[in-house]
Structure 1
Amino acid sequence: MGRSKFSVNSNFRYSILTKTFSFELPTQVPAEADSDGNTMPTDLKSLLAAVYRRFWLIALSFLAVFSLVAYMTFNQVPLYKASSIVQLDTEQQNVIDLGSVLSGLAVSTAVIDTEVMIMKSKSLLTKVAVKQKLVEDPEFNWTLREPETSVLGSLSDSFLGFLGVDTTEEDPFEGMSVDERENALLESAVAKLMGSVGVSRVGTTYLINVEVTSESPETAARLANAIADQYRVQQLETKLDATRRATEWLSDRVFALREEVEEKENRVAKFIADNDMETAMGNTLTEQNIAYLTTQKTQAEVELNRVRSRYDSMRRQIDGGAGVDGISEVLESPLITSLKQQLSTVRGRVGDLETRLGPQHPELIGARAEQADIERQIENEMNRIATNLENEVRVRRDQVGRLQSQINNSNAKLRGNSLAMVRLRELERDAETSRVLYEEFISRSKETREQDGLVQPDAVILSQASVPKHPSSPRTKLNLLIGAILGGMLGAGLALLAELLDMKISSTEDIEKKLRQNAIGSVPLIRTTNALGFTQTNPAEYLIENPLSAFAESVRYLRAAIAFSDLDSETKTVAITSSLPDEGKTSLTLALGRMSAMSGARTLVIDGDFRRRQLTEAAGLKPEVGFIEYLFGAGQLSDAIAKDPKSMLDILPLSLTGHTPHDVFGTRAFDDLLVRLRSMYDLILIDTGPLLLMAEARVVAGKTDKTILVVRWRHTTRAAARQSLALLKSFQADLLGVTLNMVNLNRRRHYSDPGASYDAYRKYYQMESKPSLFSFMRGGSKKSKSGKIQPTAIQTPPSLADHKTGAAEKVDAN
């Protein structure tokens, strides 16, 4: 779709004074496309534009984080790391397995991880700290260090002192005895050592790596070797102590267990004799009988199920009307087989007789009787077989019942001896446990005295730590790289947050994509240069003094948009409004009116902002009879309309002393006035109040031919613009489009505005020339006659740049 609602693909001509101008407006503006004709995405451009806009935020964030990391890196004390490798001995033989008291290390991940924790335990490192006299080392004893001063520390102390906080350090050992002081220093040294030691398993091997980090390379190597040695010594001490205690304990237990086993075995024998509980094959006779009966019952149940299945199958086949050939149980009977053969023979003879003799022939009747007799015999045989199966089912069921009765009797007898059996088993288990334990202790006691490898440690030092030549930290290049990455990430995050929180309208692209409205021009911000800097000037005055400037061109484009807004009917009344005050609506209305008047069109501007009357003040008018007075019969229209001497523009101002009644634009008088003014003027511009604050602005927008919504660049929020558009829609206003006003051309290039990158247009508008006042040719800005006004760097309005492709302007002399 095209960028403007009024775009057509035809030529239009209109006359201004003595010149005729021809415009060819494109129906659409082509999007950027690649070499294959596909539309190119603008995400990368938007991203680069966002980076450009937030450059200083990103740069400051990057510099802050990078500087902090660099400061910390270059002020960090160099640390050295030394490592010693210990190999766990996996070939140790277990001597006794009583809780693994004297065993070697088992080969498992859990055991190796346990040994890793032991090597960096506080108890082992305390022994290392005592042997290596770390309390005398300033690195591990903070009381021996010289006080350090740093920039951050000085600033922190100064800040705390400014807040009234006492920064003097108190003696932490105050009130302690000498022994307590030594213990506290040792605890401090051990804590420092624990923070400097790292113990880890090497992959999935049986190797353990011991790393120590220190400010001194010699200290790092010395402590790494000392920890590995202390680990082996501790293993050896543990085994020696375990061997001594195990030998003493085993001897005492063997003697006690021997007597205990004899006593418990005698108790079991006496209990069996007293309760007449003889056993065979480890079970009582009652239990064996129950087991036998249970087996017999299981077999009988299997036979019962088999016979019952046969009987049920045959009964279902008989009840279902199956013939003798369809019952499996009948087919196995020899008698049935013989009867079937006889029946087949008789049936053949009956068939033969039926074909030769009459139905009442005695021979045929006899053959049929014989056939019926054979069929009865077959049926009787089938019933007999079924009865036999039923009897067999009954017999099997009785057999299962008898076996179950016998089992119940045996169980009742067994329950009678249950208390005695429980007690007997308890005595037997107790005696067996003591016997097994006694035998184990005898065996292990002999092995303990004979095995020499018991007092060998389970680890060997595979690699001694060497003195490192280069520090392990700080890693300057890596830290600086991380600082740069973190700084960039922080800057990017803050820039993204700033972009997400930015709800202001910055370009015509925002109007078209985010507001989904036509953008009809981008009006630049006009400034003058003086000794104090940049100050704003009256745009309507600037238009008169610089008719060939970019500002004048943007107003001229806006007038063309109104002229070609509706080709079917003439647009005469236009309401120019904004969402909130101070968005440049009044200045733009006055400038647009002057441009229309200078172009030769009969133009009237109405000041419809009753609260502020800014248009009247901007035009330099102080009328006694104005718009309100005429509307309510206090004066004539000719007395109320003032003439602008600089542009022949007619202005219907507001008097400074007039009373403003309510609902001015909703009256019949205003409707009549619009009808009258339509016959008098070619274009009527109404400067309304803000839409979100004034109800009158919404009413007048619904009564005019077109409405233009003015939004201020980087000032109006999208929420306010959307609310204004919703109000215009609710009042059925015919919106011509949205105009971006007061665009700072020096800063516009920071935002994704299509016209921001056309440097050639800037040069074009800065050209010195003397064109005609009413020419539509683009030209450069020039100084005013007073020589005071000098515009800043000017670029083409984005709407003109957007319509550059396919647009042609022709200037023909009459």
Structure 2
Amino acid sequence: MKTRDNYGKSSSDDEAGLDLRGLIADFRRYSLLFGVVFCTAFVLILFPLLSQTPKYVASSAVMIDPRSVNITNASEQVLSDLPQDAATIDTEVSLIKSSSLAEMAIRELDLDKDPEFNPFLNPRKKYFGLVTEPQRPEAALTPLEKKARQQIITNIVLGGLTVRREGTTRVINISYSSTSPEKAMRIADEWANFYLAQQMEARFEATRSASGWLDSRLDELRGQVESAERAVQQYKIANNLMSSTGSTLTEQEISSLNQQLAVVRVDEAESEARLATARRQLAAGSTGEDVGEALNSGVVANLRSQSAEVSRRVAELEARYGPLHPEIIKAKREKADIDQQIRNEIARIISNLEAQVQVQRQRTSSLAGSVGSARGVLAGNNRAQVRLNELERDAQAVRSLYESYLERFKETSSQEGMAKSDARIVAKAKLPMGPSSPKVSLSVALALVGAFGAGAAAVLGRRAFDSVLTTSTDVERHLRQPYLAGLPDLASTVEKGHKRTDPVTYVTEKPLSVFAEGFRSLRASLLYTRDGEQARVIALTSCLPGEGKTTASMCLAQIVAMAGQTVVVVDCDLRRKSINAYVQDQPEAGILEVLDGSATLDQALTDGPGGKVKLLPVKPESYTTRDVFGDPSMDGLIAELKERFDVVIMDTAPVLPVVDTRILVRKVDAVVMLVHWRKTPRDAAQKALDLLISADAPMAGVALSQIDVNQQAKYAYGDSGFYYKAYKGYYTE
């Protein structure tokens, strides 16, 4: 939360951001500290850098190659080619820096036998290298200790490796740093080879693993295929669903029976037609000789031929002999016998036709029954076919899966031994021409940066622990009081070699000096206020002894006197009695005598240096334990002094060690607290202010005393003292 003091300035304004120019002023202020720390840090950083063992760097380069070479007819590889996006290439960079490659390099290049990478080959140093002792032999190590040693060696090997991608390209640089140029070149080259070998091994391993898995899977699927097909065959046999030409045996049987039935029915119809025709001819009075079947009979034809021959002979005999001739009778009897044979044969033929029709009818009936029975079986088979179809689908699915796995197994087997890497070496490492480190220019630059950082840290640390008051900003920010003036230290305003002069005398002799101007500024702050009220009774105090109250009181009095005002300085420090140093003649009485009524004010007043300032001192031998400042007589003295003088300046005791000032300040018009520039702790000044404020002191503000104006120009950024060198020629010293 922002707070505002009684002079309207935000207490957080100066803390809102980084005051760059203020920091520069701090660096100027602590330039000696910065210089000492900078030089020390520069040496401490640069010496170890330049004392390092020279390191040589060799680099090889590999390129992630997206192009592929198709040798086999396999549609896909077991391990697919790497995609060419940035994330994949960055992943490959990480793989090149992996511990597995480092372990391969250690194993293949025997790096664990090289003291550069295996610190356990060197004697162990103790007590800052003053004492050495041999390392424990590897045989005495536990498995965990061996693993820890191996990890340390791996980390050291990886410490010399640098892998980076060239911009946005697919090229990866592999650099290695070593104390030997030949070793650096060898490791950089072999590291690239190890990376390619690892890629190839990954593909081989993936292919072998895939082949092994496919083989085991094929065995499993083969068993499933055999089991499924066996189930189909058993179901076919159990349900009479066997087939040979794409249809079941029942279907084939029905087809054959239907064909036979059709033939039999045709034969039956034909036989019945012949029988019916023969019966119609016989019914029409035919002797049967003209019946179709008889016409086709050889027996009938032969008998008819014999009958014709006998008839011809009868005719010849009748022509030769009479009708009663024995030969004629014999011939007629022979012809009658032949005709009877013909009739018998025709009857037999008709009987055969009837028997044939009956057989045909029986065959037709039998075949029709067989067809019906077969169709009943077929209906049952059709119901069983639903389950058979399900079994066949299952078998086909397993068979298809088996065939796809078998095809993939063949493709995978064809890839074994023909795996290719996704990367190739595009640049071999070259022998380094010179060491890459330590580089003098880089070491100096690092030392400069480190030294500057150390110096800056020292300055900032000193600034952070700086608990004194330096500028008007410090006063207003930390004490929350108006800043009245800065009172210079006289020694800092005069040229070196000049005779040392008393400050009070100097103000009189050099009224236009920078020293006198500080007190003139204090007078203006006290006598010319915004509300027009003039402070006539002014108390000068401090929190601790030795902050220049008496000198400031005397110098301020001289400035007031030179301005044409009458002024008196009252010594209110009953212990130090510092005003007596400026008394020309020892007084017969002092302030204590005036207060107890043993002397008059005129008897106690004396002239100060130059005679323009009146002094009311404390008689050297006087002492009292009474609370004289709280007595009404003190009020009367102040009233009398105000009647006789324009300005009354009271030189009081410090606030923290003496309580007198806290009693006195209630009776004055304005209180000025002096703070020794860059000496008085802020906490002490704040404590004194708190005591004064709690005593209802009419605080006019704070003035910094004994300021080194030359140093103030370094410290006081934002303060008028910062520009002292610019305006010092304006004063007359």
| Separation of aligned partners in 2, 1:661 and 1:673 | 16
| Separation of aligned partners in 2, 1:452 and 1:511 | 86
Are 2:441 and 1:464 equivalent residues in the alignment? no
Q: Deviations over 1:442-500 (max 9, x none)?
A: 21343345557635555433332232334444454344334434433443444344445
Are 2:58 and 1:58 equivalent residues in the alignment? no
Q: Pick the aligned partner of 1:659 from 608, 624, 644.
A: 624
Q: Pick the aligned partner of 2:489 from 524, 529, 536.
A: 524
Map 1:576-655; keep pairs closer than 5 Å. Answer: 576-593=540-557, 603-616=567-580, 619=583, 625-644=589-608, 647=611, 649-655=613-619
Map 1:239-638; keep pairs closer than 5 Å. Answer: 254-264=218-228, 434-448=398-412, 450=414, 454-508=418-472, 515=480, 517=482, 519-520=484-485, 522-526=487-491, 539-540=503-504, 551-552=515-516, 554-555=518-519, 572-593=536-557, 603-616=567-580, 619=583, 625-638=589-602
1:214 is matched with which residue? 178
With 137-146 and 73-82 compared, the bigger mean Cα shift is at: 137-146
C-alpha contact (below 8 Å) 1:604/1:650 kept by paired residues: yes
Are 2:148 and 1:171 equivalent residues in the alignment? no
C-alpha contact (below 8 Å) 1:90/1:106 kept by paired residues: no
One-letter code of the match for 2:489? P
Q: Deviations over 1:686-713 (max 9, x none)?
A: 2222345555434433423444333322
| Separation of aligned partners in 2, 1:720 and 1:573 | 25
1:727 is displaced (CA, Å) by 6.2
Q: Pick the aligned partner of 1:680 from 631, 644, 651.
A: 644
1:585 is displaced (CA, Å) by 0.8
1:584 is displaced (CA, Å) by 0.8
One-letter code of the match for 1:647? G
| Separation of aligned partners in 1, 2:213 and 2:563 | 121
Q: Pick the aligned partner of 1:78 from 41, 47, 55.
A: 55
Which is greater in Rg?
2
C-alpha contact (below 8 Å) 2:61/2:171 kept by paired residues: no
C-alpha contact (below 8 Å) 1:78/1:473 kept by paired residues: yes
| Structure 1, unpaired ranges of 5+ | 1-41, 148-152, 275-423, 766-778, 781-814
One-letter code of the match for 1:83? S
One-letter code of the match for 1:658? Y
Percent same amino acid among aligned pairs? 33
Q: Pick the aligned partner of 1:192 from 156, 162, 178.
A: 156
C-alpha contact (below 8 Å) 2:60/2:173 kept by paired residues: yes
1:52 is displaced (CA, Å) by 1.9
Q: Secondary structure at the match of 1:222?
A: helix
One-letter code of the match for 1:67? V
C-alpha contact (below 8 Å) 1:61/1:490 kept by paired residues: yes
C-alpha contact (below 8 Å) 2:122/2:134 kept by paired residues: no
| Structure 2, unpaired ranges of 5+ | 1-17, 239-387
| Separation of aligned partners in 2, 1:570 and 1:182 | 89
Q: Secondary structure at the match of 1:687?
A: strand
| Separation of aligned partners in 1, 2:707 and 2:632 | 39
Q: Deviations over 1:532-591 (max 9, x none)?
A: x99998644666787786545655665676666699777643322233332111222234
| Separation of aligned partners in 2, 1:57 and 1:449 | 77
C-alpha contact (below 8 Å) 2:468/2:679 kept by paired residues: yes
Are 2:189 and 1:225 equivalent residues in the alignment? yes
Q: Pick the aligned partner of 1:107 from 80, 83, 91.
A: 83
TM-score by length of 2: 0.61
Pick closer, same or farther for the CA change 1:268–1:720 going to 2, 3 Å: farther
Pick closer, same or farther for the CA change 1:94–1:623 going to 2, 3 Å: farther
| Separation of aligned partners in 2, 1:617 and 1:568 | 35
Number of corresponding residues: 562
One-letter code of the match for 2:709? L
1:714 is matched with which residue? 678
CA RMSD in angstroms comes to 5.4
Pick closer, same or farther for the CA change 1:470–1:271 going to 2, 3 Å: farther
Q: Pick the aligned partner of 2:665 from 701, 723, 741.
A: 701
With 51-60 and 482-491 compared, the bigger mean Cα shift is at: 482-491
With 73-82 and 596-605 compared, the bigger mean Cα shift is at: 596-605
C-alpha contact (below 8 Å) 2:493/2:515 kept by paired residues: no
One-letter code of the match for 2:674? V
| Separation of aligned partners in 1, 2:409 and 2:534 | 121
Pick closer, same or farther for the CA change 1:653–1:190 going to 2, 3 Å: closer
Q: Secondary structure at the match of 2:618?
A: coil
One-letter code of the match for 1:60? V
One-letter code of the match for 1:172? Q
Are 2:103 and 1:140 equivalent residues in the alignment? no
Q: Secondary structure at the match of 2:709?
A: coil
Q: Deviations over 1:364-419 (max 9, x none)?
A: xxxxxxxxxxxxxxxxxxxxxxxxxxxxxxxxxxxxxxxxxxxxxxxxxxxxxxxx
TM-score by length of 1: 0.56
Q: Secondary structure at the match of 1:454?
A: coil
C-alpha contact (below 8 Å) 2:492/2:708 kept by paired residues: no
| Separation of aligned partners in 2, 1:467 and 1:493 | 43
C-alpha contact (below 8 Å) 1:604/1:684 kept by paired residues: yes
